[in-house]
Structure formats: C-alpha cells, structure tokens
Structure 1
Amino acid sequence: MEVGRGSRSLIRVLLIVNFVAYLIVLGLAAWSIDKYIDGEQDHPPGAIGECSVLIGFTHLRAWRSDSLATAASSAIISWAITALSFGLVCKEIIMGGHRGKRLQTLEAFITISALSQLMYVLLLHAGMLSTRFGPNYGSSS
C-alpha cells in the first residue's frame, strides 16, 4: 500500500473545495470593493488562499517531504489570514444591519474557506507527524 494513500485522496478533495471557495471569495470581494470603495477588503484571503491551493496541488503531484513542508507553511499562512477575515465576518454578523445578498454570500464563503483550510492544515500537519498520513521524511519517491 502506498504511503499516505488515504490522506492523499482527502487532501485532493479539500484542495478542490478550497479552490472553488477561494475563487468565489475573490469574485465577490472584487465586486464588493468595486461597489463599496470605503475600505472593505477581502482580497488578501482569496489571493493568498489561491496561492496556497496551487502549492497544495504541486505537493499532491510530487508527494515528497520537501513539498509537504512548503505546502504546510503556505497553508498555515493562508489559514491565519482567512481566520482574520472570518473574525471580521463574525463582527459584521453580530453588528447586524442591512447587508446585500452578495455580501452575505461572501461572508458564507469566507466561513466555508476558513473551516476547509483549517481541515487542510490539520491534515498536512498530520502528514508531518506520521507516515500513515503523508510522505516519509527523507524519501525521494
């Protein structure tokens, strides 16, 4: 049985979910900035999240310990910035007021991307701790 085979398929699913969610966040955030130029910013989580997903696909293809370290470090940075954006979403929801459907959709997708990115980060870090979930350290295959 291939090393880390079970987590590899789960990582693939999480990367696809993250890719779609971050693309939607980017599109809705671009619309939001265009409509409300007053400092609303949600581009960084989408752009950095997409970069993290692309690095994750590279790791999925290579499946080596050096690509695991790169994917894990970019994923944790992406999750941290997405978590900050999620905090702003929570603040907007608690404050209430009228928000359009697109802004509510943006909030929902930021929440989805924060949770799926967290699961992706946890799975990558499980791969660092055990060969059951990721590539062997020191292996070049």
Structure 2
Amino acid sequence: MANGQLKSVASLLLVLNFCMYVIVLGIGGWAMNRAIDHGFIIGPGFDLPAHFSPIYFPMGNAATGFFVTFALIAGVFGAASTIAGINHIRTWTADSLPSAATAAAIAWTLTLLAMGFACKEIELEIRNARLRTMEAFLIILSATQFLYVAAIHGAARR
C-alpha cells in the first residue's frame, strides 16, 4: 500500500519539478539573451573594456552571471532527468530505479549549486523581479527535487 502512495507522490513531484525547471529555463534564457544583447560591445580595434567579464549581466549584481549560468545548467539537466523519471514511474521496478535515481540526484546537486549562487545574489541585494522569481524557484526546487529523490529511493526499500 505504501509503495503505491510513494509512486503517486513521486509522480506529483516529477510533474511539479518539470514545470518549475521549464520556468527556470525560460527566465534564464531571457536573462542570457538580455546579457548577450546588452553586454559589453567590443570596439572596432577589438580592444576589450577595462573591466571585461565574459559573464557580465547588465541586470543584477556580481553574482548574476554565475547564478544564471548554473541555473540554466541545472534547469536543462533537471528537465532532462524527468525522462528517466517518467520511465521509472511507468515501470516502477528495481531495474529502472538506478537511472532515474542517478539523474535525479545529479539534477538535485546542480540545483543546490545554483541555489548557492542564488543565496549569494540575495545577499548582494541588487536584482530585478525576474531574477528574484528564478531565485525563489531554485530554492523551492532544491527541496522538492530532494523529496522526489527520497520518494523513489523509499519505494526501493519496500
């Protein structure tokens, strides 16, 4: 009975996490596009500006470049890990668990890394509403992704 309950909890968390990772990818894509469009412009002689940084973002603070970059990496891997998760929930056997658990655990660690940069960005205080939204989503995802990993591992013990 508990195994069926864990399967429904894992399914709910998988769908929730996928939707949140897609939102993170959308906001991160916007931020990356804005940084490319409004970043440093290299002059005709290819002279770099005095304070050139390859991850300069015109909005936010000094942590924004790292935050957006790692949020995009975590978002891509998190969304892609749902493929293994869907396969595992569909079959719900011990044979499908290792791939789903590994992908989910790696997505969770990348989400924790992005959440660390989100915390640093919150500490530095200067950011816009979209970045604040992405920070909140990554903080929530760090918890829900952990719960998903726990739910699929808990079913393996039964």
Taking structure 1 as the reference length, the TM-score comes to 0.85
2:134 equivalent to 1:106: yes
The equivalent position to 2:152 in structure 1, one of 107, 110, 124, is 124
How far, CA to CA, are the matches of 1:59 and 1:125 in structure 2? 11
Alpha-carbon distance, 1:43 to partner? 1.1
How far, CA to CA, are the matches of 2:80 and 2:105 in structure 1? 12
How far, CA to CA, are the matches of 2:102 and 2:34 in structure 1? 34
Task: Indicate conservation of the 8 Å contact 2:7/2:152, yes or no.
Answer: no
Alpha-carbon distance, 1:100 to partner? 1.0
Structure 1 consecutive aligned stretches of length 4 or more whose deviation exceeds 6 Å = none
> What pairs with 1:2-41 in structure 2 (closer than 5 Å)?
4-37=3-36, 39=55, 40=65, 41=69
Paired residues in the alignment total: 128
2:45 is matched with none
What 5-or-longer segments of structure 1 have no aligned partner? 132-141
For residue 9 of structure 2, what is the amino acid of its counterpart?
L
How far, CA to CA, are the matches of 2:34 and 2:135 in structure 1? 16
Superposition RMSD in Å: 1.4
Percent identity of paired positions between Structure 1 and Structure 2: 37
Alpha-carbon distance, 1:33 to partner? 0.8
For residue 141 of structure 2, what is the amino acid of its counterpart?
S
2:102 equivalent to 1:73: yes
How far, CA to CA, are the matches of 2:116 and 2:141 in structure 1? 13
What 5-or-longer segments of structure 2 have no aligned partner? 37-53, 56-64
